[in-house]
Structure 1
Amino acid sequence: MLFAPVLLLVASSMRIVSGADWCYQSEVTCNHTCTGPEEWGLVSQHCSGRSQSPINIVTKRMLRRDFLPSFDFFGYQEAFHGHLINTGHSVQLDLPSGIRIENGNLNGAYKAVQLHLHWGKDGGPGSEHTIDGEQFPMEMHLVHIKEEYDSIAQAGKDPTGVAVLGFFIQKSMSANKKFDPLLDALKYITQPTNRTTLKGVSLEMLTLPKNNMTKYFRYSGSLTTPNCAESVIWSLFENPVPLSSKQIAVFARLQFPTGKQMVQTYRPVQPLNDRQVYYSRGHLAQLSGVLLITCVLVSSALSPSPSV
């Protein structure tokens, strides 16, 4: 009678161990069995938590808040050399020390550690987060951790240890030349574990103009790949980064460990549960300030001059 529970425990343990080979749904085939997103809870119990990412942002239900001011960016405008890697799941750019963000209602400074992207197939839906059900062709994540930590794994143990800036990428009629250095380098890292050095780029080149980075969505969530630690302060910018269809198609050069094209590299949206999504009003506050100054000047101009 004791054998059944023991065998069940062994089988369960074996399933969890084999589940460590996680993958996206697009990589699951009859000849290659790996643990797809629906079973990532077998890889890490965090992936079955109640505060998981990504999510669908329903704009009618978000709350507008003045406590979400603009970010302060340090080192974003400085050119650097960084390692560009095919991780087997995505393309990742390791970032040098000295790049950090502050403000944005964050609790202190967060240093940048890496940048990676998620995309679809043939220019189709590929972002992880969605807005009112709309899925963009791509999504870029700039991962930051609190300055006192040395790694994402270490920061992941802190409920607010990680701050990710998310950028939706939308199709544009014209090419975004600022992305050319990164796109040109992809031909050197088509195979998993391949790496190359990306030279002379800056985060300012790959993101939005600062005046387009005041409007963002904020919520508390998780990493979107195992171990899915629920330690992320998410800030998703409303305005998308433009790339042409040809530029988006270049990411299909990369390959999964199976040799298949690296496509549809996104986790499906997760339940929001009892969390709240907030929307910054920094741009409205700036506009209100301009209107206030204008009103004061107009009022002064229309007021009768005092008698001499």
Structure 2
Amino acid sequence: MLTTICVLVILPYLARADCHGKSYVVYKNKEVRLFNEKTTYNQAKVKCKKWGQLWKSGNTGRLVVVKENEKQKCIEEMVSTPGNYDPTKWRGVSKATAGYYIGADDLESNGNWMWSDNTAVSLGQNGYNNWGKHEPTFDSHTENCISLLITDASDHYDLGTWVDVECHNRIYYICEREIFNSRLWTYNNNEHGLQPHDWHSKYRSCGGRFQSPISLKFPSMLKKCNDFLGQVQGWSSAVSNVKLTITNTGRFVQIVPQQNTWTTKFRGSSQLHYISRIVLHVGSSNGIGSEHAIDATKYEVELQVFHKKAANGRIHALAFFLKARTTSDNHEWDALLQNLPSLKLGSKSVITAPTSFLKNLISDSSVRGFLAEYILDLGVRYYGSLTFPPCSQNVIWTVHPRPIQLSLSQLRILRSLRMEGDLEMTDNFRPLQPTNQESCIVV
């Protein structure tokens, strides 16, 4: 009988051979990441803990624990990345500054070295360690932390050797955190979560037939819509000024108005369409960034306006394009952009804005005739889905092909926001999906 044995390899759970040149790897059930910013031991512990809270990682962040040779070798391959390990750069550099903090110290009791998981660090033959010759130096009462060295062998230490150092030294550090099966979704700009091509494995609707975004035909090629919902005619509010909460979610900038205060008026509809949130998708360079496309042409930014779910279960969503220009700023965006640079990951900014705030965002008073009415006068509608999990196929999209313009300096502000790992929060868009639905011109 012929027996076939199949080996299933699941990425990104990397074997040790894949560690070379990586700034992060997923080793067994933990993500291990290098942080090439110099800090003290206590500050590194705090930073690892905060990093472990991102993306709902279960608050498991800590300085890395190394109890086996395979993990040690993997880390050595990571830190040997060009730019980190250069013999000419590190030769002769003191062991006090040429390394990465790992998660062990003897701060509570001198000579009693403990890992950050509260287990003892091996000092002899029993258990794994990678101490250098004559390390640790028990005669010192100030070298209470461990550094994994980046150094040259001529300095009597090999790459990856453990040495005890003073905890106030400012050096690099290595964090780790647990990876759960229920990884949160991300875009292609962040490899630490469930990326768009895998969303369907957790969110079944993401593999549906009528998904968004799509590339739409130019309006002149389309027939007129015959549904009851016409063009957007404007916005109104129950209050003179709307309270808006602007948040850096780590995926995109989100603007949420005070509940049930801001409505969109559609031609032919007397129903109140309450705005639930506004989302910005931003590209890292010109020609990318928007989720939707017109005849396969993309723009630098897409502004999306979502409404509360209607009684029939449908969600009405509006999409507007923004593109770069080399001339002056579009001052209609000043009120929003001045609140963005301070938005750190997870932070919020609350502003009070007039009802005309959204109308202003889709206007450009510096360009003749380029007011909101001109943008709203041309819309393409189709039935699709949310462009992020759970990808529910209950969205009526109205996409406005005429782009608004922002200056290059204004785009730089949008591109300056950061997500976890201090990565740019750009290219936060879902790739185009197959076009299986018809579209029409909104009148």
Normalising by the smaller structure, the TM-score range is 0.7 to 0.9
Residue aligning to 1:287: none
Contact 2:283 / 2:415 at 8 angstroms: preserved in 1?
no
Residue aligning to 1:93: 255
The verdict on how the C-alpha distance between 1:111 and 1:260 changes in structure 2, with shifts beyond 3 A counting, is same
Matched residues in 2 for 1:212 and 1:128: separation?
18
Residue aligning to 2:245: 83
Cα deviation, residue 214, structure 1: 1.8
1:171 is paired with a residue whose SS is: strand
Q: Which amino acid aligns with 2:232?
A: F
Cα deviation, residue 58, structure 1: 2.4
Match of 2:341 among 165, 182, 187: 187
Match of 1:175 among 319, 329, 349: 329
Q: Which amino acid aligns with 1:199?
A: T
Q: How do residues 53-132 of structure 1 correspond to structure 2 at under 5 angstroms? A: 53-59=212-218, 62-65=221-224, 67=226, 69-75=230-236, 79-96=241-258, 97-104=260-267, 108-132=271-295
Q: Which amino acid aligns with 2:399?
A: L
Higher helix residue share: 1
Q: How do residues 181-260 of structure 1 correspond to structure 2 at under 5 angstroms? A: 181-189=335-343, 191-201=344-354, 202-208=357-363, 209-260=372-423
Matched residues in 2 for 1:115 and 1:194: separation?
16
Q: Which amino acid aligns with 2:359?
A: E
1:202-255: CA deviation from partner (whole Å, max 9, x where unpaired): 112112412431210000011111111111100011211111111111122211
Matched residues in 1 for 2:297 and 2:270: separation?
31
Residue aligning to 2:113: none
Residue aligning to 1:45: 204
Residue aligning to 1:290: none
Contact 2:218 / 2:294 at 8 angstroms: preserved in 1?
yes
Q: Which amino acid aligns with 2:295?
A: D
Matched residues in 1 for 2:415 and 2:241: separation?
27
Matched residues in 2 for 1:256 and 1:61: separation?
40
Aligned residues with identical type, % of pairs? 26
Matched residues in 2 for 1:276 and 1:66: separation?
10
Contact 1:95 / 1:112 at 8 angstroms: preserved in 2?
yes
1:17-67: CA deviation from partner (whole Å, max 9, x where unpaired): 635411111111xxxx32111111123111111111000112389532163
The verdict on how the C-alpha distance between 1:41 and 1:200 changes in structure 2, with shifts beyond 3 A counting, is same
Contact 1:46 / 1:228 at 8 angstroms: preserved in 2?
yes
Contact 2:235 / 2:359 at 8 angstroms: preserved in 1?
no
Matched residues in 1 for 2:291 and 2:330: separation?
22
The verdict on how the C-alpha distance between 1:124 and 1:132 changes in structure 2, with shifts beyond 3 A counting, is closer
1:173-201: CA deviation from partner (whole Å, max 9, x where unpaired): 22111111211111221x32111112335
Matched residues in 2 for 1:246 and 1:123: separation?
13
Contact 2:381 / 2:440 at 8 angstroms: preserved in 1?
yes
TM-score (norm 2): 0.53
- Whichever of the two has the greater Rg, that structure is 2
Tell me whether 236-245 or 84-93 shows the greater mean CA deviation.
236-245
Structure 2 stretches lacking a partner, 5+ long: 1-7, 9-28, 30-179, 364-371
Cα deviation, residue 108, structure 1: 3.4
Q: Which amino acid aligns with 2:352?
A: K
1:65 is paired with a residue whose SS is: coil
2:423 is paired with a residue whose SS is: coil
Residue aligning to 1:36: 195
Contact 1:123 / 1:249 at 8 angstroms: preserved in 2?
no
The verdict on how the C-alpha distance between 1:214 and 1:27 changes in structure 2, with shifts beyond 3 A counting, is same
CA RMSD of aligned residues (A): 2.6
Matched residues in 2 for 1:46 and 1:228: separation?
6
The verdict on how the C-alpha distance between 1:18 and 1:259 changes in structure 2, with shifts beyond 3 A counting, is farther
Structure 1 stretches lacking a partner, 5+ long: 1-7, 9-13, 149-154, 283-308
Count residues with an aligned counterpart: 252
The verdict on how the C-alpha distance between 1:60 and 1:84 changes in structure 2, with shifts beyond 3 A counting, is closer
2:288 is paired with a residue whose SS is: coil
Match status 1:279 vs 2:441 = yes
